[in-house]
Amino acid sequence: MDTQSLALCLPLVGWAAHSGLLAHRLAAARRDPLTGLHTRAGWTARAERFIRRHRDSVVLLLDLDDFKTLNDTHGHAAGDAALAATATRLTAWCDRYGFAGRLGGDEFVAVHRHPHLNGLTAILNAPLTYEGHWLPVSVSIGSCRLADLPVRGLPEALAAADASMYAAKGTTGRRGQHHTSH
């Protein structure tokens, strides 16, 4: 190859490498590094498409109970193990009928084609073995069937699932606000 051809090709090679790096970074930003689940932005975009295709699906919002106590008692690595185990269990439950995401902290979200939550509570609340100890894992689950909403949108479903989750926890909601279930 002559020098002129090489000079013309080098910028293209550089651009291709740079765009590949940017694509990799964008994909990584949409995945949680600890659990491998979609982050809020990645999950939301995918969930919007999913609920347009599956109008009778269910949206779930999940929160690990007493997560701070678990971290304080057993250490942050044990907390990370509980988060990773919850992600694995939720993903296995979703199977090919839905998918899960991690909103942040100890909050997870999922959307599923079938409105039945058969066995999910037992799966998620099973103790976890960590460094030879049994760790208690407890998850509060709020759900909302899209078919039960007057407006079948993701924001409405998440708000209803949030209210349902806090009702399951036996609290009045975040920051003292009262939520009602649908």
CA atoms of 72 and 132, how far apart (whole Å): 18
Catalytic choice (63, 66, 80, 106): 106
Tokens of 139: 């998850």
What backbone phi and psi angles, to 5 degrees, belong to 169? -75, -20
The alpha-helical segments, DSSP class H, found in 30-106 are 40-53, 67-74, 76-94
Active site residue 106: yes
Q: How many CB atoms lie within 10 A of CB 135?
A: 17
Question: No. of H helices and E strands in the chain?
Answer: 6, 6
| Active-site residue list | 106
